[in-house]
Amino acid sequence: MKLRALIFMFFISGMVSAQVSFDAKVSKRKLGINERLRVDFTMNKDGDDFEPPSFENFTVVGGPSQSINNSWINGVRSFSKTYSYFLAPKKRGLFSIGQATIEIEGETYKTLTLEIIVSAAIDKPKDPNDPNYVASEKIHLVAEVSNLNPYLNEAITVVHKLYIAPGIGVRNSREIDKPRYSDFWSQNIDVNGLGAQQGTYKGEDYLYVILRKTVLYPQKSGKLNIEPLSLDVTVEVPSNRRDVFGRSFMSTVNRRVSAGNRAINVKPLPEKGKPESFSGAVGTFDFSLTTNKKALKASEAFEVKLEVVGKGNLKLFRLPELVLPSALEVYEPEHNEKVTTLISGMRGKISDTYTVVANDPGSYPVPSVTFSYFDVKTKRYKSLESERLVISVDPRPNANSEAENKVTNLLSENNIKPNLKLFRSFKTNTGFTPLQSEPFFKSLLFWVLLFGPFLFIPVLLFVVKNRTIKALDVSGNKIRQTNRLARKYLIDAKKSLGQKEKFYNALERALHNYLKSKLRIETSEFNKEKIDELLTKKKVESTTLEGFISILTACELARYTPLTSLDMQNDYDKAVQVINALDKQLK
């Protein structure tokens, strides 16, 4: 049975690996009548008798051009063949690009029909072969806002995404202008890595990378502006020139992209139904009042805690005040917060803990406390009331001491006369005689005790110094170990030139271990913001810092960027130069 299952799985995997694909893609689905359109027909196996569609309503101004990509990676063959056409629309309207056909391994395959919208002429016709124009059309920075019409103090999220069209590469990116949220309480959410994801932009297939996640709580009502994020991006665009293997040469251009201003309309909280106890809480909460003691003795202390648990603007409102009888001594409350800010907003609990002292016996009521908040889901105010408590103070806190005093007074009232002859059997005089001995002054023991500490101090310092050195050897060994790992991974990266994933993984590990040894940072702290902060404090030159960040970004973006062996060699040389420069500056 096991053998049959293995044979079946091998057969299925062979069928999956042998699956044929034949697709048609266009450079854009909407264009002006004075623009050009590129159509690519791509297959993953070589075929015969390729027949393009008729391209009616379009004029073929270029093509067909043919490109073949054939490579072996880790023993697995990868093949693709593409026929490309450049078209000019003949008139405005909604048109279809029909099916192309090809015969592969005796079977006929067809592409899907594509819909194209041709509009009026644009002001400035663009050359689809111009790398700057292609970069402007294929790279987009977008700020996605979760709610454009929130209430005051209601959480909204802003996610900045960089959309990249297939076939376009991004070498690195650098923030040139960060948004300032002056009318908001804001907190950035950590983004772990720059992994590319599949998505759509204006109806077309794109890859996108999440650059920033920010949680905002608007602090005033009305129309507020969310400032844009601006980037300087190095883009690689395929050109019409091809190498001997049919692969396109890449043109590198710099492109500045901005997310644009986003305006939101913040609604004020309604005045109708607003409770007097409302102090600005917005969200969904639970409220409680608890005490650690309900019965105690006079002069003892107890604690009363007011606690709010839930989801909302936990750090942006105050808890209600606790009012107790004047006979109780109440101290200023201790405020405590255990709040986590997620992409959906704040979540956790806050509390005020009062220390109270009862000096006199009796029963003291702890009156109920009301906490009010605005629920954005129901759009109504809600009030929560705590339970009323009673604290009992023992009216006889020193009962044991009073009993002992009564016994003492009773004994003192009796006329007790001592018997002076009771202890006459005990001798009160001794028969000891002094012993004759040498005088202590100027004796050997005298000189040892006098000068011994002065001789002992250097020995003690020497021992302490040796122990300190041994203790420091642990961190020294750790630093040397990370240095060895950095050199090892750098050597591995050099050996892996031409193998994109293996090369950039080794290069990233080399950078990580190098910084770990130089700056003594842990793996959880390995992000570009922390590195920027630490290297700036170390007064590292800006060019060296930017070079290191650019290499790190290149390692993250290498997963979805087409790269050549020359690009990897350039990144390796740049990494070696940056590490050498950091060695000289980090002393």
Angle between helical axes of 542-557 and 565-585 (0-180°, round to 10)? 140
Q: Tokens 């069928």 appear where? A: 15
Q: Kindly report which listed range (42-56, 246-260, 340-354, 525-539) carries the lowest average pLDDT score.
A: 525-539
> What is the pLDDT averaged over residues 234-239?
81
Main-chain dihedrals φ then ψ at residue 368, nearest 5 degrees: -65, 150
List the structure tokens of 263: 């305006």
**Whether the predicted pLDDT of 399 surpasses 60:** no
**Same CATH topology for 16-127 and 285-394?**
yes
- What is 113-164 written as a DSSP string? PEEEEEESPPSS---TT-HHHHHHHHEEEEEEES-SSPBTT--EEEEEEEEE
Res 368 pLDDT > 90:
yes
Mean pLDDT across the stretch 71-92? 80
Query: CA-to-CA distance for 317 and 312, rounded, in angstroms?
Result: 10
User: In this structure, what are the phi and psi dihedrals at residue 415, rounded to the nearest 5 degrees?
Assistant: -90, 90
pLDDT bracket for residue 422 (50, 70, 90):
very low
Architecture of domain 16-127: Sandwich (2.60)
45 pLDDT more than 90: no
Percent of the chain predicted with pLDDT > 90: 24
In 3D space, the residue among 68, 87, 78, 85 whose CA is nearest the CA of residue 242 turns out to be: 68
Q: Rounded distance, CA 490 to CA 503, Å?
A: 9
> Is CATH 1.10.1740.10 the classification given to domain 468-585?
no
- 74 pLDDT band, cuts 50/70/90, is low
DSSP SS3 for 445: helix
> Which CATH architecture does the domain made up of 132-266 adopt?
Sandwich (2.60)
pLDDT for res 436: 54
On the question of pLDDT at 178 being above 50, the answer is yes
Q: What pLDDT, in 10s, does the model give residues 179-235?
A: 888 889 999 988 877 778 888 888 888 999 998 999 999 999 999 999 888 888 888
Instruction: Give the CATH fold of the 285-394 domain.
Output: Immunoglobulin-like (2.60.40)
**Separation between Cα atoms, residue 99 and residue 39, nearest integer Å:** 12
Quote the mean pLDDT of the chain: 80
Total residue length of the chain = 587
pTM comes to: 0.53
Two structure tokens written together for 421: 């002859």
Q: Can you list the positions of beta strands (E) in 268-379?
A: 278-291, 295-297, 300-312, 328-330, 334-342, 345-358, 362-366, 370-375
User: What secondary structure letter does DSSP report for 338?
Assistant: E
Q: Where are the domains of the chain?
A: 16-127, 132-266, 285-394, 468-585
Mean pLDDT for 18-42 is 84
Order the strands of the 58-73 sheet from edge to edge. 22-26, 37-43, 76-89, 58-73
| DSSP-derived secondary structure letter, 267 | B
The DSSP code for 426 is S
Say how far apart CA 296 and CA 300 lie, in whole Å.
7
Query: Which position has the higher pLDDT, 382 or 498?
Result: 382
Instruction: Read off the amino acid at residue 222.
Output: G
Residue in the block written with tokens 């076939």? 167
| Per-position b or e across 275-287, b if 16+ CB within 10 A of its CB | eebbeebbbebeb
> What are 280-298's pLDDT values in tens digits?
999 999 999 999 988 888 8
